[in-house]
Structure 1
Amino acid sequence: MAKVEIFPSDIDLALVTFQPERRSCNYPALKKGSSDNLKKGSSIYISGFPIRDGRLVSQFVRGDVSGLDKLARGYGVAYQALTVGGMSGAPVADVKGEVVAVHGMSDVEVVKNFVSLQGSLSESQRSTFQQAVERVETAVQRWTFSWGIPIKINDIPLVSAKGVDYTKLRNLLAEGKWTEADFETYRVMEKLAGRESEEWLRAEDVENFSCQDLGTIDKLWVEYSNGKFGYCVQKQIY
């Protein structure tokens, strides 16, 4: 079972969530970190499986962050690392082993793919693009940079079709206060159903919940519990 989430067209990324055939995977999952912890000079590690001679070849490379900027299509972390074609989508981990970015492309690919977007880039983005062009044109290949899409742990949009504020719930979850977050979840669900004064929910209230709001609550719980809690997790267990 797999679920595919397509990001907006201006972000070069899609998210695939899958459930293994057996109840447990035979490999550990990397913990999600935040690119906010990176700075120039930070060490990063990339693990990928490019195809060589018709088969997947495991590659694990080390690199150093060379810049933190904002390029088009979601790219924002540059690093000097020996990446090759076929490693796109590979996790970029920090020294703690937490995923802080998703590897996307090298300077060569940036120049090739973004050349048609120059007119829509901001001044700073055009400057970053031009620097990539100069590196590709004047430097040997191994000195060009690679780019990744940064992961920020607080990037979940707190959207609500009913005008509910999820800031308190997010903060409680971020602090690991699970019991308080559970009570806050019930409180916002009462507000969604317009049942705050009654302080309890009916079956028809649950059936008519906003899908957008349920999605926000679910993503917050899954994100901050590292996949241990959330409506989708409960559904898989049931």
Structure 2
Amino acid sequence: MVSLCKANLGLAVFVILVFGLTTSVQALTIYNAADDFSATNNPNGVWSYGWSSSLGSAFNLYTTPTSYPNGINAWGGVPWVTHNPTASTIVWSSTSWLPGQMIFHPGLYGQFSVVRWIAPSPGSIFIDAMFTGRDSAGTTTDVHVLHNSVSIFDGLVNTFGSGPSFATTRTVFMGDTIDFTVGYGSNGNYYFDNTSLHGMITYTTAIPEPSTFVLFGVGIIGTAIYGYRRWKKAESTPS
């Protein structure tokens, strides 16, 4: 009986070690706002393109996609979110889009243009964001990163070709939102405010619940301990 109990305990430990380790493997996914851009779908998987009347207020989807003759794809008008899908730089008026670059622009009445990411499930994320002025006439915008409509980063773009960056780690739950936003800046007008966005989210899923194999192993341990105790009790009881 002792040998059987030891065998069961050994099997349980083996099952928990083997299958417990396999269940702790985490999945890593990298989302890139520019690389993942869709000119036809909004929402587009975890990404959505829209605007808000003030920072952190209700999010409104852009509903009108446009493909311009010069190659630029866009959602909205002004405000808007745009993308250069080509392998060449596209120059339009005083704005230049680098190959594969995403550029967004605030609205005439102070509306914020928003690129939103929605967490598909609980996990941990690393946010890497960079905002750059892309209008050679002189970009003047305010830029932000929001988690569930609460700002976690605020910055200013005040010149062509440069701007602030931001990186941080956050815990998210399914349905949480990360917003990259641009407003028309301290000068209070929307002229020459095309601003590029490099927005990347490295997403690691949470550790899954224990597998049935682990629960099975725990059950074996319980059964073995119970059997061992019964055997010891019977052994100590006078016949």
Give the TM interval when normalised to the shorter protein: under 0.3
Tell me which protein shows more helix as a share of its residues: 1
Larger Rg: 2
What is the TM-score of this pair, normalised by structure 2? 0.24
Larger RCO: Structure 1 or Structure 2 (Cα < 8 Å, ≥ 6 residues apart)? 2
